[in-house]
Structure 1
Amino acid sequence: MPDSSPLLSLNNITVRYLNHTLFTNLSFHINKGEHWALVGESGSGKTSLLQTIAGKNNVVGGSIQHYYYQEYLRQNPLHGEVFTHHNLIAEVSQKHNFRNLSSNASEFYYQQRYHASDSEDAPTVESYLSAIEAPEVPQAYWNYDRAISTFKLEGLLDKQLIKLSNGETKRLLLAAAVLKHPLLLLLDNPLTGLDVETRAAFNLILSEITKSGITIVMATSPTELPDTITHVAVLRKGKMVHRLSKGEFTPALVALAPVFLPDQEELQALLSVNNIPAFDTIVQMDDVSIKYGNKLVLDNINWQVKQGEHWALLGHNGAGKTTLLSLISGDNPQSYAKKIILFDRKRGSGETIWDIKKKIGFVSPELYQYFPYNNTCLQVIESGICDTLGLIKQSAPQYAATALRWMHLLEIEQEADKLLKDVSASTQRLCLLARALIKNPPLLILDEPCQGLDQHQQEQFKQLLDAICRNSKTTLVYVTHYQQEIPKCVTKVLRLANGKVVA
């Protein structure tokens, strides 16, 4: 139970980032023994508040008192070391910042995992965890072996970071965070990308973290509050509108805009910009197996997708879904040697990777992770027409106009001229969804497309996707760990487990 002594206090703070005011006169207090969930619609300020606590934003008014740091110094006198409250905070953000071995300044890039020489330049899980620098804590609860066991990383130690699945990466980042021996752990939507089994175990993991003496503040969905959470703060447009115990909280306190059917006339007009050509077979795989070294990732896959079919691709983290999709999208060079037909044509019969990509609209957690930031939101969406990661040539007025129309359908047109790096994570994800939709491709591959979206945005997108599939010959492959995210148009399921088809 909380002992009412203060741990962290934000006192009437005004916070700015670049030329934006994020918070004005905001106050937020955490006592010992309290563990807080931050909830609210997308863009309400949850991530910004976590980043402010972490010291990443400019506090221009008010003050922040780190009482836990002051107490730590009283108990652990330091001798001339440079040691601040930042050393006692650990974060797990929605994006990682992994670096290659050959140059610590070289970030990973999209498709790196499929290129043998470049993927070998990435650290392994074992080397990454072993290199973590942390304050010396006598008889610390968290050590290397306990973190490996708790986060189920035993089978991943020799795996390069670039080859981890989205969920495996999240488990690694949580392990790395506790190995820093923080007193305050900041988690930004930590359940995102975790499969059903891992989410179920997450309650126990968080309880173990808090019992070890770490205070948790996490941004999360209002419908996913871990057992160890004691209090909930509801944010709305940069203001904290409710602060209450978890027992007093109800998800109805998070105000969400109503969901409307998309403008059918406008959608039909956009779908007619590029007519989908007729195909018989969109995807056919015959006895396809993929190995990385001695690791069998896909085992004897047989799958056929006909034009106009709508599939859900399901499976646990590391089941092989991402590798399977890479064989379709053209990103995996091993596809040339396999019995694969794409768009009625055998793979490796003379087509280029661009011949394949122009027929596919694609979004995935990896694309979100590695997409370059130096374009405006409008340019990011327009780049989907030429299948590049960002707009690398001058904008075409007619394409920009089409991009803006898709932004309107996704309710983000007001962000058109902002740089991708300066908008919320949910807006970034919606931009990548619009980028996948803009050319009205024959095949949509949507890998966890609702990650980071609030309930309103998820429902609005599902309505749009159902309307697209209802009014066109679009073929859909949809990946998710959440049953409720699957749109109504989906009628077929391929389920993978450990690289094999199980349903």
Structure 2
Amino acid sequence: MPTPLLTFAHVTVRHLDRILFADLSLRIEPGQHLALVGPSGAGKSALLAALAGQLLLTGGRATTPGLEAAARQRHPTDPLAAWRQVVSLVGTRAPFRARPGGSELYYQQRYEATAAEEVPTVREYLLASPAPAPRAAWTYARVVERLRLTHLQPQPLIQLSNGETKRLRLARALLRNPALLLLDNPLAGLDTASRADFDALLAEVAAAGTTVVLATTPGEIPAIVKQVARLAEGRVTHVLPLADYQPAAAPTPLLPDAVALAALWPPAPPAFSTLARLENVTIRYGERLILDRLSWEIKPGERWALLGPNGAGKSTIISLLNGDNPQAYSQCITLFDRRRGTGESIWDIKQRVGYVSPELLQYFPGQPTCRQVVASGFADTLGPGRATPAQLATADAWLAVLHLAEHAAQPLRQAPASVQRLCLVARALVKNPPLLLLDEPGQGLDAAQQPYFRAVLDALCAASPVALVFVSHYAADIPRSVTRVLELPAPVAG
């Protein structure tokens, strides 16, 4: 029997004062590529963090003989080589960090030119990783070429798209040439071409001697995976061969209360004739062309899908519509019947826009509760703020409509990923905006919650005149109420 990379025998996994797993047993052997599956909140991300040595283990016995041997082999001159040096975890969160001595970053800064001076570039981020050994499988040149990052090397991290950031973080993980690679929902945010290439990439990773453990959905299990671990409510219920794994049928989605939803959005005539008009808009960051003479108009009540590959400019368009991008002042852009740069403030725009994106979660400071996060939508802040009793009551009403009332007092960062996403949707809706911008809102939703989420949006569109712009790389995620499409071309490398 081969020496296992690691073994957990009846351990308890803790984070602060919370028990995440009790009586956890799991054995990972070299080449035992494993998929972790289960509903949102089952503990997949927590298990990956435990395998990476990031959580406290008590009781039972945890050993890492194979990883320790790999650390000694790959770092023979380092007497302090530890098994964690040969483990790479690519999680779901990618917070932006300024260079030492720089100011704290804020969300809108990703669109400002000064951010380029405060944030490392792609090249600097990758070179900050320890240099691979001379004969390592994954060298700087190889990861940059294989992950399609060559043309992005001068780019500041803060200006990358969601999918580009995903590829970059995977590249940095591979530069460590890990014995164990841990991936949390790795396909989220990747376009169709990148997802299609992912199986081939993992085959190359496995061929280089790396064992892969990833949290994923039943429909996106890579070809190298031969075993599946089912998780439920903080337990590993089964570890079985992939050939024997049968995904559970998704339950019938719980529909939102249409009457309560309509009550939260009183009928009113459209306040604007045009919500947004972009005329020959061109956006650049340095030498990088993001949008090239784009024209587009959004009328009240229209529901759009905004599609295109990673780096095509989808998030940049959203930033223009949401008032976050200062390049709007040099372009011909009209928002809510008013030309940008004619005296309106960014808060005038944001008061009329509801906005959701995966990146927003990274910028909430401290430990605001789900109720506080939803209520923060009234003032468009990224903190608990000082909501009025009436605003808190409205936040509670939206949580109830979305079947999230039991999570109202729970800190957002401790809630399941699906709850976090739906709380951001509720935050976008509390002020009844005429325009709703949803940038990949379904990330983190499991197979049962995806149809529920679409049902919520369809019910919302049926009960209100809200206009919708929906960004996704998955055609199946797009609600039925979406009837119009703007598809962007692939970016030009260079």
TM-score (norm 1): 0.94
Where does residue 62 of structure 2 map in the other structure?
Answer: 64
Matches within 5 A, 1:398-417: 398-417=390-409
- Partner residue in 2 for 1:345: 338
Residue 446 (str. 1) matches residue 438 (str. 2) = yes
The 1:416/1:192 distance shift into structure 2, 3 A limit, reads same
Contact 1:35 1:217 in 2 (8 A): yes
Could you list the structure 1 runs, at least 4 aligned residues long, displaced by more than 4 angstroms after superposition. Answer: 73-80, 274-277
1:262 aligns with 2:256: yes
Of 104, 110, 129, 1:132 maps to: 129
- Pairwise CA distance, 1:285: 1.1
**1:295 alignment partner AA:** R
Aligned residue identity for 1:185? L
Displacement of 1:337 in angstroms is: 2.2
Partner of 2:34: 36
Q: Relative to structure 1, is the Cα distance of residues 219 and 276 closer, same or farther in structure 2, using a 3 angstrom cutoff?
A: farther
Q: Bigger shift: 290-299 or 303-312?
A: 290-299
Query: Partner of 2:171 in structure 1?
Result: 175
| Distance in 1 of aligned mates of 2:73 and 2:118 | 42
SS in 1 for 2:110: helix
- 1:26 counterpart SS class: strand
**Structure-1 residue corresponding to 2:49:** 51
The answer (yes or no) to whether the contact 2:192–2:309 under 8 Å persists in 1 is: yes
1:379 matched to 2:372? The reply is yes
Tell me the number of residue pairs that the alignment of Structure 1 and Structure 2 aligns.
492
Shift in CA distance, 270/276, structure 1 to aligned 2, threshold 3 Å: farther
Q: Unaligned 5+ residue runs, structure 2? A: none
| Aligned 8 A contact 2:115 2:158 in 1 | no
* Inter-CA distance 246–338: structure 2 relative to 1 (3 Å threshold): same
Unmatched tracts of structure 1, length 5 or more:
none
Aligned counterparts of 2:136 and 2:287: Cα–Cα separation in 1 = 36
The reply on whether 1:431 has 2:429 as its aligned counterpart is no
Deviation at 1:408, TM superposition (A): 2.1
Describe how 1:71-150 pairs up with structure 2 within 5 A.
71-72=69-70, 75=73, 78=76, 81-103=79-101, 108-133=105-130, 137-150=133-146
Cα shift at 1:4: 4.8
Specify the code of the residue in structure 1 equivalent to 2:230. Answer: V
Partner of 2:11: 13
The alpha-carbon deviation at position 499 of structure 1 amounts to 6.0
Where does 1:196-207 land on structure 2 (aligned, <5 Å)? Answer: 196-207=192-203
**TM-score scaled by length of structure 2:** 0.95
Residue 15 (structure 1) shift: 1.5
SS of structure 2 residue aligned to 1:455: coil
Asked if 2 retains the 8 angstrom alpha-carbon contact of 1:281 and 1:304, the reply is yes
- Residues 200-239 of structure 1 mapped to structure 2, 5 A cutoff: 200-239=196-235
Instruction: Find the aligned partners of 1:230 and 1:321 in 2 and give their Cα distance.
Output: 36
Counterpart Cα distance in 2 of 1:214 and 1:107: 36
Alignment of 1:289-368 (within 5 A): 289-368=282-361
Contact 1:276–1:441 (Cα < 8 Å) also in 2: no
Residue in structure 1 matching 2:184, options 179, 188, 191: 188
Residues 79 and 303 of structure 1, relative CA distance in 2, 3 Å threshold: closer
> Which residue pairs with 1:459 in the alignment?
451
Matched, 1:22 2:15: no
* CA distance in structure 2 between the aligned counterparts of 1:366 and 1:96, rounded to whole angstroms: 8
Q: 1:279 to 1:445 in 2, by over 3 A?
A: same
**Distance in structure 2 (CA, Å) of the matches to 1:353 and 1:84:** 50
Q: Secondary structure at the match of 2:186?
A: coil
- Tell me, in whole angstroms, the C-alpha distance in 2 between the residues paired with 1:77 and 1:175: 20
Quick check: 1:320–1:498 contact (8 Å CA) kept in 2? no
For the residues of structure 2 that align with 1:126 and 1:15, how far apart are their CA atoms? 36
Letter in 1 for 2:178: P
Shift of 1:313: 0.2
